[in-house]
Amino acid sequence: MAEMSMGDRFVMVGDSITDGGRERPVGRAPFGLGYGYPALVDAMLTAEYGDLNIAVINMGIGGDTSRDVSARWTRDVVDLKPNWVSLMIGVNDVWRKFDHPNAPELHVPLAEYRTLVENVVAGMLTQVKGFLLVSPFFLELDSSDPMRAMVDEYRQAMDAIAREYSLPFFDSQKMFDHWMAEHPALNLSPDRVHPGLFGHYVLAKNLVEEITEAGWL
């Protein structure tokens, strides 16, 4: 199994949760990674594996759906020649159905979501050492809540892709559910979607644990 090597590039892709106010056009360390989990992942890798000089690159864009990520994949991922990639996408695919119910052109159906994510995965596997899929999440423990129930469907679709391609899958919803059993959701996020610092720390800590268990480190 491949492991991270000296000078490898780790490109992290996603929506506003990943973006975190990163530098444009490319979010790079030490000061351009934004305030969210990519910056914390970089800090953890630097602290524990500083001799490897891993280059974490943040390519999140606020508001993105899987449709948007797919459209910019070549420019924002392939052209950066990453060795490792993580992708967390899906909450906006669901959210647009709730915050823009009368704009169906913004909605990404579940079947399209699965096709788009699978296409970027399949097209990238021969070009990278590792690809981590990170599930979308909604910080609501009630699984009957309409948005939580729909996020679960998209999360399960991503899990199915990970299983099909034997990729590591970080189930962030399951992880946050564990934390919400003991901490109020407001401690993690003011709107149940965008984490605060505590939420980003939990996300980063568990993501590093996931890639360690996957043999990347």
Over residues 138-166, mean pLDDT:
97
Render pLDDT for 49-104 as a digit per residue (tens, 0 to 9). 999 999 999 999 999 999 999 999 999 999 999 999 999 999 999 999 999 999 99
What's the pLDDT band for 183 if we cut at 50, 70, 90?
A: confident
Q: Please, which residues have CB within 8 angstroms of residue 11's CB and are 6 or more apart in sequence? A: 57, 59, 77, 80, 82, 84, 85, 86
What's the confidence (pLDDT) of residue 185? 86
Render pLDDT for 6-39 as a digit per residue (tens, 0 to 9). 999 999 999 999 999 999 999 999 999 999 999 9
Residues with a known catalytic role:
16, 191, 194
90-109 as b/e, with b when 16 or more CB fall inside 10 Å? bbbbbbbbeeeeeeeebbbe
What are the residue boundaries of the structural domains of the chain, listed by start? 9-213
Q: Name the β-bridge partners of 13.
A: 59, 87
Is residue 162 predicted with pLDDT exceeding 90? yes
Q: Name the β-bridge partners of 11.
A: 57, 85
The verdict on whether omega for the bond into residue 146 sits within 30 degrees of 0, i.e. cis, is: no
What's the pLDDT band for 1 if we cut at 50, 70, 90?
A: low
How far lies 153's CA from each of 47, 54, 156, 185, 189, in Å?
36, 34, 5, 21, 22
As a whole number of angstroms, the distance between CA 57 and CA 29 comes to 7
Tokens of 20: 């975190």
| Strand-strand pairing, 55-60 and 27-28 | antiparallel
- The fold of the 9-213 domain, in CATH, is Rossmann fold (3.40.50)
Q: Is the dihedral of CA 134, 138, 143, 147 positive or negative?
A: negative
What's the confidence (pLDDT) of residue 85? 98
Tokens of 186: 């407001």
66-76 and 110-124 helices cross at what angle (nearest 10)?
Answer: 20
Percent of the chain with pLDDT over 90: 95
